[in-house]
Structure formats: structure tokens, C-alpha cells
Structure 1
Amino acid sequence: MKFQTQTCAMMVSAIALMAAAPAMAAEAPAKDSNGEIIVTAQRTVSVASKTPISLTVIAADELRQRGVSTVADLRNMAPALEIGNASQGPNISVRGLGSTDLSSKGKQGVVFTVDNIPVGRPQMMGSAFFDLERVEVLRGPQGTLYGKNATAGVINLITARPKDVLEARATVELGNFNTMRGEGMVNLPVTSNWAVRAAGSVNRREGYLLPVLGQKALGTQANLSDENNWNLRLSSLLKFADTGRFLLTGTFGHVGGTGDVSNGMLYSRWLSTNGSGSAYARQVYYNPMAGKLNDRFANVNAEISFDVGAVNVTYDGAHLFFKARDNKFASTGDPAGAGGTANYTWSDYRADITLDSHEIRLSNAKPGKLSWVVGGNYWKEKIDEQDMNWQTLTGTATCSAPTLSAACNNPNPHIIGPTGHKSTGLFGQSTYEVVDGLKLTAGLRYSKDSLYRNAMRAAGGAPAAGWLDAFGKPCAPPNYCANGTPNVGAQEDSKLTWRLGVDYQITPRQMVYGSIATGYKAGGFNDVDPTTTNSGTGTYGAEQLTAYEVGYKGRVLPNLQFNSSVYYYDYSKYQFTGVTFLAALPGLPTGVLIYTTLVPAKAYGWENELNWTPTKHDRVMLTSTLAEGHYSAGPQVGFIYSKRQDWTGYRFDRLPKFTLSGSYEHTFELKDGARIIGRVNSRYSSGYLVSDTMGDGNPFAGVYSVMPAQYRQGAFTRTDLSLAYESENGKLRLEGFVRNLENKVQLLGSPNGINPAGVGTADRTTVRVSEPRMFGARLTVKY
């Protein structure tokens, strides 16, 4: 609270100092004179259809009308974009590539930015999905301009900026699972050169996993996978001189409820109901430890932009703070079955995450034959965390909370202490028009990244006196703790990456382009190095690839836009992450740990996007993808380290070979000028695979009961429908909608907690799945 008070005071002071500045011309519009969306995907202003990269832009109206309120809602809105789910938050992949290590020392393979500020932790990605101007999805390595870990792509969220008009908007949504959502915005021009904007959202929804099987916990346990959060954003835009602007934004909020549980639907019911989203399929076991999220965040970012002669100077800076106090649990236990061998799992996760980001860019102020941008960045993240995990046998006495009793717990890893990431970079990119319509692009970036952890690692139940630091006090970050093993590790990488491109404007509205780019994601370290006989950490190197792409963007007809691209990725080093049990190795501590190695990999595919308006009342949008991706050689997986399996040739997770998405919208004009707008969105996906790289076994006996395997999600369709009434002036919109009409749920990860019995009362195998059918009504009023 102290941080939020100081932040608000800083914003108020800054606003007061800005009031007397001179006026400037209006900032760049959201669309150009032809109605095409303006983007900043290449760190300069350009039109989406003339930006020579694979890019999908989703405008504000589209986001609101499709009810986007979380990062997961983007799953069906851009080709080759898949968003999984893990205990730490969303797991984003583009063209089958991303990251499976979402722990505090892991790094995303897809850069996620909010107003040009990279967000490092998955749990911090959900705080900006309201009052947006647009979302940009960039496919392919973008290391030259985005640096840190942009090997697979970038997702840019651009929040709505203050404008020089008085306007307001309010939206209320009601739906099944007792959904109640509200979003509002007020934009106020204070003077001719200063405007402020306030926006907020409230999101409430009961969970769709129903804890009704087996013994019921004392009291009433809430449904799982619910939503319960609020957000507030305050922004101020000051225009000064002739070309300058100063944007200051503060975002604050809270995340509560039970959140996403560590697992999800019972795998046996997913199989027996053919992926149904019915209430029966969504029943899970009660857990004696009810989960609760209690996360708060406060973010402040500033953007200053002005011209000095022929040069534009832009600075983006931010301080982000996220405080997590979470008790999570898994719906794995079967209180009645398996002779007491089934178990409950839960965690007590506490973290204070701070992020500081600074970037300055210089670019040409006016368009010309040569356009260029150079800059430098500094990014620092610190995570003080206490990540405590337990397993409790169902045959023992119920543990109502994380306990000091070792008798109640099976071994599970605990990490207590600080982890830090730091990244610096220098970059430049220029485009020169050699002859009319023909442009050459060259980019270069030097990146330096480092990672450290200065923590304690332990396994099993807590000691009788609890975890204590060196002074005999209860252990809390960043102190070492007694009865644990020091978990001190560090890794540092530097790399020069480059990009070469060419594009040719065939006609004013048709272009072809091609590029060769290198990508880089910094290395890290494993908590334990199983290749040695000591218990120390072991480093792994940077991820590296070379990507080739050719594409076409064109207005084939005045009312038809078509984009197409073909790509090929050659990963000389891909960071492959699995999980293994290390207790059976001499000199190593007990523990199930994430383990990353470097392997070669290949990926290639073909993507298409079509936007057609055959009449002023009709709009058709189509996207399709063909994709392939596999590990070339070397991956070893398995719960038992000494008996790991060769994963060579295995396909990337969540990468369907073929997808086809279609959207059709028709507008019915009414006599009074109002409109009825009907819309259908449907996506067909061929089957894809999800990997269990661990399996299940007895590491002490060296025997597997369930081998590591890939599990198949079959082909499916997912359809959304909406019907809206819109007044003549567009200030009133009433809409009814259904999402996932089929009421089928798809695998987002592999089954967890594989049990050889696997069915009936002995089933403790669960799996993360997408949302079942959602429906409701949404009312929007504008002023």
C-alpha cells in the first residue's frame, strides 16, 4: 500500500508540473486515411499491410466484441498462436515454439510487452487486458528490435492513450458460471495540450471445475479455476513544443479467488466423455486444502517522445511491482481409492517481484528514402520468493494447512530465496529505398544477459521447528534456511544477432518481402547438475537459431486483403526442458527438478490471412496454417535419470499440422438507422500432441510403471456466435454471445500424476483443459 501511495503522489506531482506546457499537433491516429491500422511493431510508426513481417493486428473494437479479458482469450485470434496453462500462469507459443520452464529462473520464448515494456513473469501478464487500443502478434524471431528472448515472436499490448475529446464508455457483462464483468473508461481533455484518462475493470466468475467427488472438506469449497480480480489504470498525456509528448501511466490491481489449480479435469472423464465440457466431465475430487490467490500489483510507466531537428527521441521506462501470496492445490486426491496411496498436493507460494525497464530510441523524424532506428535498453528483474510444495497421502490424517509435521508429507522440492535477471542491449535497424518500391533492411543487436539465484533448496516435510534462517527466525526470502542445501547459481551470455530483409512494393497496395534473421535466448542453470557427483548447479547455454521467411501482402481487390508467408527455422541450439527425479544418483539430493539441455530442432510452415468485405454489410475473415516442427537429435526424457528415453524426431507440443479459422459478419440495417449485427467465428484444428517428459516410476528400483509419452488431442472445431443491436450513433450496443458452442474442452498440457490403475476410484490423473461453453449478454454505453 505504501508503494501505491508513493506512486500516486508521483503521478499527481508530475501532472501538476505539466499543465503550463505549449501545444503540439495531435498524435498519430489509430488508422490511416485508408482505414488501415497503424502499428509500431518495428519500433516506428507504419501501416500493418506495409510492414514486412508476419504480423496480426487485433483492433480495440474486435477485442471488446469478442470479450477478450485475459491473455488466454487471444488463443483463437491469430494464426499459429497457442496459449497453454501452467501453475505459474499462461504458457505462450508461436509456431509451436516458446518455453516450458516458467519458474523464476526460466525465460519465455515469446516476448510479452505492455506499452513497449517487456513483462518477464507469466503471472504478471494478465493485468492489462482492458481499455486496449490494439494487440500486435509478431511471428518469428524479433531479436534485433526486441532483444531479450524474442526467438519465437512478440505479443505487444498497446493500451488506449488519452485523447483530446471528452468521451466515456461503460460495459457490463453477465453470463453463466455467475459471470459478472464490468469495464469503464472516462477520457477528459483538461487543456488544449493535456488530457487524462481513467479506466478500470472488475472480473468475477465462478470456477467450472466442480469439487463434488469423495469426501467433502469442512465447510463449502469453492469451484476451481474461477476469476476474481479488479484493475485500475490512470494515464496522462501532455503535448509540448511542436512534436513532443509525455505519457505517464499507472496501473494497479488485485487477483484473488482460487485461480487456476495445479492440475484440472480428471483425465479418465476427459477420455470417457470424448472431451465433453459437461458438468459430469468437470467433476473433480474435493481437496482438504482450499486454494486462494492474493496477488497485488502496481505498475508505473512513462513515455517521452520529441523531435530534435531531423531526429526523433523516444524514451520508455517503467517500474513494476507484483506481490504474490498464494496457496494453490491440485485436485489429484481420491479420498476413497487406491488403498491410501493417492495423494493431495498443494503449495504455499510467496513472491515479491520488481521489474525496472529503460529504453531510449533515436529514429528519423520524417519519412524518406532512408528510415532508421538505433537505441539501447536496460532491464532488471528481481524475484524474492518462497516456493514450498507438499504431497499428503490420503491415508494419513488430513492436513488443513502447510504443516510442520514430516509424517504428513512426501518429498517435494522447496525453493526459498532471491532470483535475478538482467539484460542490456544496443541495437540498430535501417531501411533504404534503393529504387522506387524496392527497400533493403539491415539490423544488428548486441545483447548481454545474466541470471543469478542465491537461495536454499530442500525436499520432504519441514523440520519439527519449521524452516529457520541462520538467526533462528522463521525463514523468509532472501535468507538462507537451515536444513536445506544452498542453491546458488549464475549464468551470463552475450550475443550479436542480425537481420537482413528485402521488400518490393509491386503496386501501391501489393508487396513481397523476404528476410533472414538470427535469434537468441539467454542460457540458464539447472538447480542440480546430474552429470556430476556433487549437488551443485550446472549451467546450460543460449538458445540460437537462424530463421528464413518470404511473404506477400496485398490488396488483391479494393475490398480484399490477402497476406501469406512461408518460414523455415533452423535451431542449432534449442532449450529443451523436462522433469527428472535425482534422488537415485550418488551424492545428489532428493527432488523432482526441472532439467534443461540444448538440442537441435527444425520448424517450417505456411500461413495465410484473408480479409474480404464483399458488400458494406458483409465481412469475411479467413486464416489457415500448415506447420511442422520437431527435435532433430539428442533430447533425453524420463523420471528415472539413468533410464531416460530418446526423444529424437518427436513433434513440438501444441502444434497442429493444419488449422483453418473463419469469421463471417453481417449487418442488418433498420429503418431508424440502428443495426443488427450477427457474427460467427469458427476454428478447425487438426490433432496435436502434448508431452509428458517424465512418466512415472520408482527411481530407487530403476523401474518405470508409465513411460514418458506424448498424448494426442484429436481434431476439433471451436465455434463462437454473437448477435448484437447497435444504435444509429453507435453509443448503445447490446450483445448476446456463445463461446465454444460445441462445449468441448481441449488439452492444454499432458496428463499429470499418471497412475497405472488409471480409472475409476483409483484415478488421480488430471489434465489442464480449455474452457467449456460460455454464454451471456454484454451491454455497452458510450458518451
Structure 2
Amino acid sequence: MAIDLVAVAQETDGMSEATETAQADQDETKQLGVVYVTARKREEREIDVPVAISAMPAVEIDQRGLTNLTEISSAIPELRISENTIGYGGNLTMRGISSATNTASVDQAVTVNIDGVPVSYAGVIKLGQFDLGQVEVLKGPQALFFGKNATGGIVSLSSALPTDELDYRLRGEYEFEAEQYAGEAYISGPLSEGVKGRLAVKYTDSKGWLENVVPDPSVFPGAVPPKNDKGPATEEFLAKGSLLIEPSSDFTIKFTGGYSDTETEGNYLQSQRIFCPYGQAQGPFGYPGQDCKLNNVTTQADMPGSWANFDPRYPSDGVPYTKTKQSILVSDIDYQISDDISFNSITGFYNVNLDASDHVSNGAIPFVGFATSIEKTTYSQEFRLSNDASNRFNWMLGLFLQDDEYTENQSTVVGVLGPKADFRITGDTVSPFVQVGFDLTDKLTFTGGVRYTEETKQQHIGTGQFEGQYPREKSFYNWSPEATLSYALTSNANVYVAYKEAYKSGGFQTEHVAIPSALSSGALVNNAFDEEKAEGYEIGAKAYMLDQTLRVSAAAYHFEYSDLQLSSFDSELVANIIRNVGAATTEGVELDFEYRPAALEGFWINGAVAYNDATYDEYTPSCYNGQTAALGCDIANDTTDLAGKHLPRAPKWGVTLSGAYEGSLSSALDYRVNAGLQYSDEYEGNSDAIPNSKDDGYVSLDAGFAIMDKEQVWELALIGRNLSDEYWIASSYQVPVTGSATRLSDIAATVNRGRQVMLRLTYHP
């Protein structure tokens, strides 16, 4: 993405040409950089795009030490991204809209778009993000311009491009709390006439940030103490490369590729009991002294080596693990057919291979364990043909194709039983779209369009023994229209109103216990779920003010969802069950700004405030353990009415504020100080609004200090994240085999990383 400073013309009577130039240069440095985005598949100024969008340039990401999607999301109050317990899972939530958690086969409502290729697989958040050019977050339903419709929003990641001249950087980091070492380097520049390249690599080794407290078997019989009392230990290698070929001024080819190899000890270490209703841990797995608080202390035993007799993927040394390899390849071709017509082709390949083994007992005695192998491969192709956007009447035609295959081989241990299952799910997508724009007047513009999606998914369970017991195929068809009116108040101020519809296909769920055991008993199983739909409107305003030193934007929205896809953890089945929520509504107001005051050179500040009211209109899940009629349980039907309750991970209020100041220490040294604040109101931790499973809200503080030479060849930075050492809930659930129809279950939750203090040395000649 191009990021330029735009100067504002001024009257300069009586000045010499040299003085005028110097004054203009000085004024320009006090103005905000104009960020260009591709939210509508064209490069446009962010304030001209009639979409609620947050764009983070690489410089801010770098200065704040935001090294992954989880950390990047903390700077945007409407967005929440976090890892889940099982290594391939994750939560991506926008304005309260998310998808089923801990289920790898389900597309996400918030899609990650990497260099133009959509990836709906939640595990992509583990594909470490570095060497980025820009991050764009498009809020709310995004159907028209993106091949895999996203009912919650889009997180678009653009890799840094090769440079015109030779450029390289070396960087080393050490994070004290997790004893984490990291080394990173890139080199970029011209390779030959019309060809430029870039290569970046990163390696990380960490002991982990959680204390794992498990008693000795002599104190608590049956306990299996961990080999390591700290975790999750992680080793990761990342590589990213790009090649930019320009045979002529009309023809550009860009190849990008990314690879990650991550190995983590312990998946459920990030899950801990946060509430024990009767004062101590219940069930056969917990022990009386177990910590039932939300903090950096967990209790997660290793596994018995004897489990390897069920399946060799269970570790013989008992140490839980997740091994993940991911790769993505993108070919992006631009061809200017004529002065007015351009053609674009984006070809994508994404692959993930994962092997994992752990237990879900949340205690000192392992009882319910799993070993799983997953492979997901996606091929995608998008073609676009468009005329010049400066025309009074402009248009764009597009076609998106995708072929997807997902396989999962599961092995589960429940006491002395070892049920197994194989899943294979394939999918094909054909999705054309058309978009038109027309300048009704010099200031008023109409844009509109529609996307048609036809998607078919097939599944195969087992090796043939379950034929006829489950659905084999499911097809989905959808039209998603969009219409927008935008009005230019000035050349630097716009208002807009938009109506949107969006869709996300249904599919099939996979689980470790529920489906295999039911099929083995001869039962008919319908593990399919329906498509999710959204419709509503958004109004907004964007502007540069105060001689382009202040940027402000605001939006208000109201979207209604039908058949929202969410999951709830069934502690008796030890499985996440995906359900289509009957109806839900999300509405709210958000405001963000960025300010670089002219009177204080070297200083900038930005922030955002978001109010979101995301509630169920219709949802009747099963009663939680211990829920009585007085607490709202329909005993006869084992259901509870959650109409009016809030959706999971949807705080009403969210606030972020950050800033930095750069100055001079001496004739040879400069410095930079920066700080950040994130506030979240309380929110539900799971889709069933179970008591004692919500997060009470938090305030997290970041700060940093850096010194560098005047030419910024080297920089030494001390970076602090979450210095307030707050722990918040990613998702919560009832602990398996605790509670009953008359007793409340213990509550467990996955938690975020606590305080981080990092020392970073950069060499960039």
C-alpha cells in the first residue's frame, strides 16, 4: 500500500522560492500521512471509502511491537482475536459477530485476507504476521468485493513490497516474562531490470508465560505432574518472500509466499478453571488446592505414556504438543488493457498441516484426551475487469472460484475407551459479482452491486462403515446486494449511507466424541448446519481537519442476523455443538481519530471509542448444569430462552488510545516514547451466557522507549505490553464431568497472555 504525505497549498506572498519550498516541507511534516486502502479493490484514500475501516500502517505496528493478529486486534476496540485451547482453533469477533469456536472445519465470520487471498480457517491466526506493509480492518458485513462472504468483517494483511534500492534490516528481541528469544531479518531490492525481490525470515523460541501447578502423585493419587512447570513452550520459524516483475508500465506481476513451522508444548495450558461454585475444583480431574482464578496459573497435567497404546500419536513421554505447518502462495497480475480498462488476476494457494495431542480434563488427572491430524488445502482464483474509477460512470466485473479440501483423523480417549473417526469435507465455490458507480452530481455518488454465490460441500465419515447414517452433500445459493450513497462535503470530508447483505455458507461439524460414538451405536446423525445471513445499514462520516493535522471518522450501524452459526460446549458429551441461532441484532456507534498537532513537532496521538449492543433475538440452547426452573430452565424441554442476552465476546463499550513523541537527546541521538491504553467493558465468555463465565472487563496499558542515532541506522527499544498484567477471557465453558442437573459446573476459560516486557535491538543501515 502506498502511504504518502499530501501537502496543502498555501498563500506565501513575499517569500522567496527557496523559503516557500522550505516552509512547505516543514508544514508537510506536521500533516498526517494519507493512508491508501483497497477496501473496494481499488487504491483509494481511506477517507473517500464509504466503509467503516481502520488502517494501521507498518510504522505503528512496528513501534508498538505488535507481532501477531492477537496483539494487532487489541488496538481496534470492535475487533477481538485470540487463540483457543485446541491448537488449530481461534476466535475472530467483529462487532460481536463470531463463529463456532474450537471447531476447525467451520468458516469464520471474520475472514483474514492475505495479499488478496481470503482464508476463512481460524488457525490462520497462528500464521505469524511480520514484515507487513499495512493492516486494514473492514468492519461489518463485507460481501460485494470479497470472494468468501464475511458476515462479520475482513482483516486484510498486505505484505511489505520489494524496494527500488537495496535495503536490509537485522533485529533481535528478548521478552523477559516468557524467556522468549527472537531473531528477524529481511533483504530487499532490485534483482535485474524490471525485477525486484524481498526475503524476510524470523525465528522465535519461548519457554512460556504460564505457571503450571500440578501436585505430586504422593499428595494427590493419579496426578501426572508436567515435565515442565512453565508453558506453553513454543518454537517457531517464519519465512516470507515476494517478487515484483514489471515487464512494462502496463503490466505488473507480483508473487508473494509465506511459510510457518510452529511447535508448541501444551494446548490446554492456556485454559484454566476460573470459577469453582463450591469453593474447590469438582470432578475426578481437579484437586482441592486447585487455583480457580483468572490469572497466569493453570493446572494441566501431562498425559500417561500408556495412551500411546491407543494411538501412536499420543506422546510416549506424555508431553502434550501441537505441530503446525502453514504455507500461502499468491500470484497477483495487473494488466492495463487500455487507458480506461484494466484486468486483475489473483491466484491463491493455502495449506495447513497440523498434528496435536492433549487432554481436556482441566486438572491434575488426565482422563479425556485426544490426538488429531488435520490437513486443509484451498485453491482460489479471482478475475476482475474494471474501467478507470475517475469516470463519471465506473464499473467492475469479477469472478471468484475456490476449491477446498479438509481432512481430519481423530482419536479420543475417555477413561479406557478409544473411539476414532475420520472426516473428509470438500467444497467448491463459484461466485461472480458486478459493481457500478455513478456520479449523480459533482458531490453525490451512487455505488451498488450484487454478488451471487453457489457453494457445494460434501463429507465422508469413516472408511465406509457409516454409509447412510449422515448427510453426504449440502448446497447453498445466495444473492448479496449492496447499495451506497456518498456525498463529498469538501475535498477532504465525506458522508455516506450504505445498505448491505451478506452470507456465509453452512457446512458440517466434526467433533472428537459425539459424532463417532453416535455413529458407532448405529444412530442417524445430522451434523450439518445451515448458512448464515446478514442485512442492515451503516451511516458514516470521514474528514481531514485543521489543515490536515486531524483525521476523524464516525459510523453508526444496525445489522440483523439470521441463523447465526455459534457453538456451545456440552460438558456431558465433551463436545462443541454447532447451532444456528435463530436471530440476532448488532447495532452501535463508533468514533476514531488521529491527530498530529502542528505546534508540537514529533508528536501524534490516535484513539477510538466504540459502543456495541449485540444481542440474541431468538436462541434457545440447552440448560446449563444446575439451572433450575427458577433460573429460567424449561425443564420439560431442557431449554433456556436467551432472547435479549448479549452475544459472546461483545462488550458494550471499548476504548483504545495510543500516542508517541519523538525528540532529540543530543547532537548524535534521538529518542521515542510511546504509550497505549485499551479498555473493555464486561462481556459474555460463551454463547450460552452461563453464570460466572463472563469477563468483568479490563484496562490494559502499553508503553515503550527507544533511542536511536540520527540516521536511524540502529535502534534500541524497551517495549512493554499489558503492563497492568490483566488477564481476560477468550472463550469459556463448563468443565467436563463437573456439575449435574442439580449442581453447577466449574467454569474454565482460555486466557490471553499477561504482561510482556521486551528488549529489541534493530540494525537498519
TM-score by length of 2: 0.83
Aligned residues: 682
Cα distance in 2 between the residues matched to 1:321 and 1:249: 15
Q: Deviations over 1:194-242 (max 9, x none)?
A: 0111111112222222223223747823633333211112221100222
Change (3 A) 1:262 1:637: farther
Give the whole-Å Cα distance in 2 for the aligned partners of 1:501 and 1:387.
47
- Equivalent residue for 2:352? 322
Alpha-carbon distance in structure 1 between the residues aligned to 2:469 and 2:345: 40
Matched, 1:649 2:662: no
Letter in 2 for 1:625: A
SS of residue matched to 2:693: strand
Code of the residue aligned with 2:241 in structure 1: it is L
- Give yes or no for contact 1:107–1:149 (8 Å, CA) kept in 2: no
Shift of 1:444: 0.8
Matches of 2:659 and 2:97, distance apart in 1: 30
1:348 matches 2:333: no
2:14 maps to 1:29: no
In the alignment, what sits opposite 1:386? 409
The separation in 2 between residues aligned to 1:192 and 1:438, in whole angstroms, is 44
Match in the other structure for 2:310: none
- Asked if 1:257 corresponds to 2:264, the answer is yes
Unaligned segments of structure 1, at least 5 residues: 1-27, 336-342, 393-407, 457-478, 583-589, 695-707
What is the deviation of 1:756?
5.4
Deviation at 1:263, TM superposition (A): 5.5
1:276–1:387 CA distance, 2 compared to 1 (3 A): closer
Q: For residues 591 and 681 of structure 1, what CA distance do their matches in structure 2 show?
A: 40
Q: CA deviation at 1:580?
A: 4.6
Which one of 491, 494, 502 corresponds to residue 508 of structure 1? 491
Residue number in structure 2 paired with 1:84 = 82
Alignment of 1:401-412 (within 5 A): 408-409=416-417
Change (3 A) 1:296 1:174: same
- Whole-angstrom CA distance in 2 between matches of 1:764 and 1:633: 27
Name the counterpart of 2:713.
731
Distance 1:538 1:740, change over 3 A: closer
Structure 2: state its 5+ residue gaps. 8-32, 217-222, 280-289, 305-317, 626-635
Match of 1:465 in 2: none
Match of 2:238 in 1: 231
Note if 1:426 corresponds to 2:408: no
Query: What's the CA shift for 1:581?
Result: 7.9
The match for 2:26 is none
Q: Distance in 2 between matches of 1:219 and 1:574?
A: 40
Normalised to the residue count of structure 1, the TM-score between the two structures is 0.81
Q: 1:65 to 1:329 in 2, by over 3 A?
A: farther
Q: Work out the CA distance in 1 between the residues paired with 2:620 and 2:561.
A: 13
- Helix, strand or coil at the partner of 2:60: helix
1:769 Cα deviation from its structure 2 partner: 0.8
- Which of residues 592, 611, 626 is equivalent to 2:594? 611
1:28-47 equivalences under 5 Å are 29-31=2-4, 33=6, 35-47=33-45
Q: Closer, same or farther in 2 for the Cα pair 1:538/1:692, shift >3 Å? A: closer
1:450 aligns with 2:456: yes
Residue 557 of structure 2 is aligned with which of 558, 567, 573? 567
Deviations 1:414-439 (A, max 9, x none): 43131112222001222222211211
**Could you report, residue by residue, the CA deviation over 1:278-320 in whole angstroms, capped at 9, with x for unpaired residues?**
5xx3455455431122222333221111100121111100222
Describe the shift of the 1:287–1:634 C-alpha distance in structure 2 as closer, same or farther (beyond 3 A): same
1:716 matched to 2:698? The reply is: yes
Offset of residue 347 of structure 1: 1.6
Asked if 1 retains the 8 angstrom alpha-carbon contact of 2:118 and 2:147, the reply is no
User: What SS class does the counterpart of residue 409 from structure 2 fall into?
Assistant: strand
Q: Distance in 2 between matches of 1:419 and 1:366?
A: 40
Change (3 A) 1:486 1:255: farther
What do the CA deviations read for 1:375-421 (whole angstroms, capped 9, x no partner)? 101111111220223234xxxxxxxxxxxxxxx23x8x743131112
Aligned partners of 1:710 and 1:750 also within 8 Å: no
Give the deviation of 1:274 after TM superposition. 10
Alpha-carbon distance in structure 1 between the residues aligned to 2:213 and 2:344: 55
> Could you say which residue in structure 2 is the equivalent of 1:631?
616
- C-alpha deviations, 1:148-189, integer Å up to 9, x for none? 231110011111121221100122110121111122110020
Secondary structure class of the residue paired with 1:435: coil
Please name the residue that 2:447 is paired with.
Answer: 441
Q: 1:175 to 1:536 in 2, by over 3 A?
A: closer
Asked whether the equivalents of residues 209 and 284 of structure 1 are also in contact (C-alpha less than 8 Å), the reply is no
Give 1:246's match in structure 2, choosing from 249, 253, 268. Answer: 253
Alignment CA distance shift 1:55-1:673 (3 Å): farther
Q: In the aligned structure 2, how far is the partner of 1:40 from the partner of 1:173?
A: 32
The alpha carbon displacement at 1:452 in A equals 1.7
- For residues 250 and 119 of structure 1, the distance between their equivalents in structure 2, rounded to whole angstroms, comes to 14
Measured after TM superposition, the shift of residue 623 of structure 1 is 0.7
**How far, CA to CA, are the matches of 1:98 and 1:159 in structure 2?**
25
> Using the alignment, how far apart are the partners of 1:613 and 1:382 within structure 2?
48
* Preserved CA contact (<8 Å) 1:663 1:680: yes
**Aligned in 2, Cα 1:724/1:581: closer, same or farther, shift over 3 Å?**
closer
Cα distance, 1:330–1:525 mapped onto 2, change above 3 Å = closer
In the alignment, structure 1 residue 662 sits paired with structure 2 residue 657: yes
2:145: which partner in 1? Answer: 145
- Offset, 1:133: 0.3
SS at match of 2:144: helix
Pair 1:357 & 2:340 matched: no
Aligned to 1:209: 210
Look up the SS of the partner of 2:70 in the other structure: helix
Corresponding residue of 1:491? 474
Higher relative contact order (CA 8 A, sep 6+): 2
**Structure 1 residue 46 displacement after superposition:** 0.6
654, 657, 679: which one pairs with 1:684?
Answer: 679
Structure 2 partner of 1:471: none
Change (3 A) 1:286 1:208: farther
Whichever residue aligns with residue 684 of structure 2, its letter is L
Contact 2:438 2:446 in 1 (8 A): yes
Change (3 A) 1:579 1:540: same
Closer/same/farther in 2, CA of residues 574 and 417 from structure 1, 3 Å limit: closer
2:280 matches 1:298? no
Measure, in 2, the Cα distance between the counterparts of 1:563 and 1:431. 23
**CA 1:48–1:519: 2 relative to 1, 3 Å:** same
Contact 2:76–2:656 (8 Å) recurs in 1: no
Q: Distance in 1 between matches of 2:764 and 2:536?
A: 45
Q: Residue 779 of structure 1: CA displacement?
A: 1.2
Q: Is residue 209–residue 283 contact of structure 1 (8 Å, CA) maintained in 2?
A: no
Identity rate, percent: 19
Contact 1:162 1:188 in 2 (8 A): yes
- Out of 51, 54, 62, the position equivalent to 1:53 is 51
Alpha-carbon contact 1:207-1:222 (below 8 Å) kept: no
Q: Bigger shift: 124-133 or 174-183?
A: 124-133
SS in structure 2 of the partner of residue 73 of structure 1: helix
Instruction: For residue 117 of structure 1, report the CA deviation from its aligned partner.
Output: 0.7
Q: What letter matches 1:59 in structure 2?
A: P
CA distance in 2: counterparts of 1:674 and 1:429, whole angstroms: 52
Deviation of 1:369 after TM superposition, in Å, equals: 2.3
CA contact (8 A) 2:65 2:719 kept: no
1:517 & 1:223 partners in 2: Cα distance?
48
Q: Which amino acid aligns with 1:536?
A: V
Counterpart of 1:780 (choices 757, 762, 765) is 762
SS of residue matched to 1:155:
strand
Paired residue secondary structure (1:294): strand
Residue from 336, 356, 373 that aligns with 1:307: 336
3-state DSSP of counterpart to 2:618: coil
Flag the 1:133–1:240 CA change in 2: closer, same or farther, 3 A.
same
In 2: Cα distance, 1:619 partner to 1:56 partner: 17
The equivalent residue for 1:551 is: 540
Give the Cα–Cα distance (whole angstroms) in 2 for the partners of residues 218 and 212 of structure 1.
8
In structure 1, the residue matched to 2:578 is 595
Residue pair 2:730, 2:752 contacting (<8 A) in 1 also: yes
